[in-house]
Each structure stands twice: as structure tokens, then as C-alpha cells.
Structure 1
């Protein structure tokens, strides 16, 4: 791409970090898929890597802004999670906190399959989902009730700005009759502080590599409620059943595999309590992906959106305590 003032600033930071030689003009290729950051593939004669820079205003239709210092928490999440499950994160190469950017290894699509693309292509594999659940719960369990991690990830304001407000609270404004339930979910999530939370465990941020799933985009990192991560990921497996009808059984099996594997690794509280909190939160996130500030792009049919609304609102009024009950309720709606 042609060098602009913006990319010239990025290159200058990469030179300062020692990732690009002085006088070298690297090739920067914008990578797509995210709404919260600029991401480039950087190529020089010596190496190929990625650089990511947080945006103050996210690329969505709604006015959604978030502090750019979240970039530093993403780096910290990669460092912390990488010590627990080394193969679950990309390798960090450099960090320029004042510029709000960092560099990491480039994961070649020939070796790393984007989980979202796999699911939308109808290739839902329960083993992939179970591996995601296993790595996620290991990170949560290792950081549970760790005061040092809690101090490092004291990012309540950022998590509220980029997760609780645009998802639960914005959706509450769109649905006044269940606003009370949605606002209580936001408050309950905010006050639950147990583990290191990724905050965006979505299939678009998970690549399935030769050594298992790799988590990306941890800029929502926060020391808080692990139920948010579990519910956030399971939510996508429910939603994709509308987009890929032929894969509904495989998506259902993947939902069960992820939930079962994850709950089997819960050590910091009774597994049933963790499941109940996740089951209460899930319908709020389900509704948010239709009527919050970040609706999923693959649901465009109004009849499909109505099915999500109908199911989510019913579960918000009469909360479930078991994830299997949510799956059964969704199956009944899909068969109706």
C-alpha cells in the first residue's frame, strides 16, 4: 500500500522497536475483520509480522468509543495467558504503549484456520469447540482470585465502555420491557471479580492451528466474571444455527462440547454456580447481537432476528440455570 502520514508514523515506531531497519520501507497490508483497531501485515526482506493499533472510535454504525489504552491490557493478557497455555496466543514482538500499538507474530492462514470461517462454511467440529473450552478454563483457573493479576487488570472503565454498555445497556434501551433484567446483568457482571477475562472470545478471534486454538483480540481484557467469556463464545454457536441451517446439529454438539469441557475444569467455585451465571447472561448477549451496538453481520433476515428476540426475551423473563435448557429452548424455536 502507498505510505501515508498514518502508516509512516507506524513504521517509525517499528524502527524504534528494532523490528524494521532504518531506511527500510516495509510493505504494509491492511487486514480486515475487526472494528476496534487498525491491523496491518508487515513484510520486510527479513521478516513478516502483524502490527495492531487501537481506534478511539470503533467502525460500527452506532457512536461507540473506547479508551485506546486498552491496547496495553491486550498485551498484558497475551503475556499472562501465554505463561499458562503458551500455544494459545501469538508471540509478542514489541510494544509501543504511547503510540497505542504492538507487534506480534503473523499466523499464516494456510496453517491457521479462522474458526468463524469454518463455522460459517458448515465445518463445525465439536473437538475444536472442546479445545477452546479447555484452553479458556485453564486460563481462568490459573488466574482465579489472584490479587496480582487483579491489580494488573484493573480495567473496569474500559470493560464497561467496550462491553457492558454497548451490549447489555444499549440493548436495554432498545427493549424497555426487559431493561431491568439487562441492566441487572450488567451490574452483576461488573461486580463479579474472579478471573482474568479475555472479553471477546468470539470465533472471529480464534484461529485453529496445528497445536490447537489461538486467541486473538484481547483488548477487552479485565479481571472479572469468567461467565462473560463462556457466554460470549457459546452465543455465537447459537446464532450461527440461523446462518448455517445444514450445520445445526454439529453446532449444537459444539455448544455442548465447549460447555461440558469448560465446566469440567472449573475449580474456583462450584461448577453449577458458574453455569447458572452463564445461563443468565447468555440471553442478554444473544439479544445484543441483534439490537445492541455490534449486531452480527450475517443475520439480515428480519424473521431470523425475530426468532432471536423471541427466545432471548422469554429467557430474560424466566432465566434458566442450565446451559442445556437454553439449547433446548433454542432448538424448539428453530423447529417451530
Structure 2
């Protein structure tokens, strides 16, 4: 039979079971869907449901789809759903509408946001669209979520996820980089201790351009599988890190990426009201070089840095800043700018 006449595939049994448990799919009803690419931690499908139309369903995987042996509890989708509810209340429009979550199967359903109207920020950056105004709005919404949850410390009880955050963020990024750089291990291990021990707000854990849509109403955050009650500096550093790295991906737009870095940092810090802005800026400036190094020598290296020359530029700046930490984000940006001018 010619391939163009084959029917669309049916989602895996676990996803169908999750949809039925959520009350979104009647028993015995068959549905079709399309597997989506791009993520490493979940099976993600676009599914057409009777009477509802298209929805997005994801199911957490016990072993992530990377070269390293990287495992994480599948219960993380429960906490992603909880993060989505909290984020939607703090910053309406900043997340897709949550349709349901089934703890038994680890499946989560949300509204489908058509790519034609909701471009990935990562794709726009790759194509040279560096908009400081959009970066500022990302920061504004992120700070709003952090501020709202910091003001309600009872949120912490909903996120007993220290072990998950360690397994999916601290170990594969900072501790893996420490093993690759023994002479910087003490500094990286100290960052882990500080981050793990700082409990101030609800953290997304994966604020990356690949998880942010440029939608009609502004930035939309996706994939909060790492949701954790902890240090909001992690979210800020994680996102700023990508803006620095993309200077090597699309060199012609370096100035624009650095302008986005400035806009995101300054707008976020202006929204900090739960602690002195200088305190969270210092933690972010300390953490950023560790994450910078982790994206070339951790368990999840960025896929677009393949030349050793580029990796060595990241290593050179990150290692220097780990040896002599700075307190201001502008100093991290300046150190990277000097390297780019070499």
C-alpha cells in the first residue's frame, strides 16, 4: 500500500488510557494522532478527540532520549500540571490551558496551540529574529510567576520535588560538568549546594527558548517537568545561558542576542520584590557560568555547538568565571563579549 494512503497512527496505549482516565476520551472510541518531535523527556502527541478537536498530550519517559544514561521519575508530569495551574493564576495567558493529568499513566493533556500562530522562540532566534521586547516580556511573565508564588509559601507543599530536580537538573548539568572538569568541581558542587538549599519561589526548571512560544498574546511557557520549590535564580540563569550560547549558533545576530540578554536580565530584576534584587542577581551570575559549561560538557549538550573551537570558547569563559565569580550579570555578559571579539 502506498505510504500516502496509510491512516494516521494511533497514539500509544498509555496515552489513550490516560485520556480515558481524564474523561477526555470515551471507552472504546478510537482516535488518531501525530507524534511530535523535539523533546527528549516525553512522548508528545497531537491527538484529535471527538467533540473536542485537537489537543496536545504528553507522557513522561523514565529514561530520557539522550546519549547518556539519564533517568528521572515519571511522576514529574503531576508537578508540571500543578505548575501550570499556579502559573496561569499568576500570569494569565503565559501557559496553555490545562485539560487534565493522570497520575497513573503519567499523561498530561493541554490545549493545542497551532505552530502557524505560535512559533518557537528557539526557531525565531535561529532565523535571526532577536527581539529585546519579546525577551523583556518573557522576563516580565517569569518574574510575575516567581513573585506570586514567593508571596504564598504554602505552595511549597505542592512540590516535594527535590529528588526530581536533582535527577533532572542538578546532577546531569552541574555535577556532570564537575566530573568533566575536576579542577572546577569544588566550585560546581558549591553551586549545587547553594541552589538546592535556596527555597524562595516556584521554579519552572527549563526556561529555554525551545520551551517558549511566541504566541499572539505574548510568550507562552511549555514543559515544566522540572517544577520545583526552590531558587528562582535557576530559571533566570537557565534562560540567559541560551541567549549567550546562541551567539555562536547565529553569529550575524550576536548584538541582537546580547541586547535580548540585557532586556531579559534588567526586566526580570525590576520585577523582583521577594528579596533584594542584588541578591538574586549575584546567585544568577554565579550559577550562569556553571550552566554555560554544562551545555558543552554535561549530559545534555546543546545540539548546535559541534565545533571544538566553539566549545573551547565556552569552556574558556565559564572556567574563568567559576574560578573568579562575579556579582553582576553585566560582568558575565562582558566576559563573553570579550571572548566573541577575540
For the aligned pair, the TM-score class normalised by the smaller chain equals over 0.9
State the shift of 1:28 in Å. 1.6
Distance in structure 2 (CA, Å) of the matches to 1:16 and 1:71: 15
Q: In structure 1, what is the equivalent of residue 143 of structure 2?
A: 137
- Runs of 4+ aligned structure 1 residues displaced above 3 Å come to none
In the TM superposition, residue 145 of structure 1 has moved relative to its aligned partner by: 5.3
1:311 has 2:314 as partner? no
Other structure's SS at 1:86 match: coil
User: Which of 190-199 and 93-102 deviates more?
Assistant: 93-102
Q: Distance in 1 between matches of 2:18 and 2:280?
A: 43
Give 1:10's aligned residue. Answer: 15
Residue 70 (structure 2) pairs with residue 84 (structure 1) = no
Deviations 1:82-127 (A, max 9, x none): 1111200110111111111110001101111100000011111001
Q: Deviations over 1:291-324 (max 9, x none)?
A: 0000000000110000000000000001111111
Show CA shifts across 1:196-232 (max 9, x none): 0000000000001111100000010000000000000
Tell me the residue number matched to 1:147: 153
CA distance, structure 2, for counterparts of residue 297 and residue 43 of structure 1 = 31
Q: Distance between the aligned counterparts of 1:145 and 1:292, measured in 2?
A: 34
1:5-30 Cα shifts (integer Å, max 9, x gaps): x7133213313323223443211211
**What are the residue-to-residue correspondences of 1:1-336 with 2, within 5 Å?**
1-3=8-10, 7-46=12-51, 47-144=53-150, 146-336=152-342
Unmatched segments (≥5 aa) in structure 1? none
Question: How far apart are the structure 2 equivalents of 1:44 and 1:37?
Answer: 20
Residues 202 and 232 in structure 1, CA contact (< 8 A), matched pair in contact too: yes
Residue pair 1:197, 1:224 contacting (<8 A) in 2 also? yes
Q: Separation in 2 of the partners of 1:216 and 1:226?
A: 17
Are the equivalent residues in 2 in contact too, given 1:52–1:103 (CA < 8 A)?
yes
Three-state SS of the structure 1 residue aligned to 2:93 is helix
Inter-partner Cα distance in structure 2 for 1:44 and 1:154:
33
Structure 2 unaligned regions, length at least 5: 1-7
- Supply the distance in 2 between the matched residues of 1:251 and 1:11 (Cα, whole angstroms): 41
Q: Do the aligned residues in 2 keep the contact of 1:35 with 1:60 (CA within 8 Å)?
A: yes
1:57-81 residue CA offsets vs partner (Å, 9 max, x unmatched): 0001111001111110000000111
Distance 2:327 2:335 in 1: 13
Contact 1:145-1:194 within 8 A present in 2 as well: no
> Number of residue pairs matched?
334
1:75 & 1:122 partners in 2: Cα distance? Answer: 33
Structure 2 distance, partners of 1:120, 1:56, is: 30
Q: CA RMSD in A?
A: 1.1
**Aligned partners of 1:104, 1:226: CA distance in 2, in Å?**
25
Query: TM-score by structure 2 length?
Result: 0.96
Deviations 1:317-336 (A, max 9, x none): 01111111111110100110
Query: Does 17-26 or 288-297 show the bigger shift?
Result: 17-26
TM-score for both structures, normalised by structure 1: 0.97
Matched position secondary structure for 2:320: helix
SS at match of 1:294: coil
Go from structure 1 to structure 2 and tell me whether the alpha carbon gap of 1:145 and 1:188 turns closer, same or farther (over 3 Å shift).
Answer: farther
Q: Is the 8 A contact 1:166 1:293 kept in 2?
A: yes
State the secondary structure of the residue aligned to 2:110.
strand
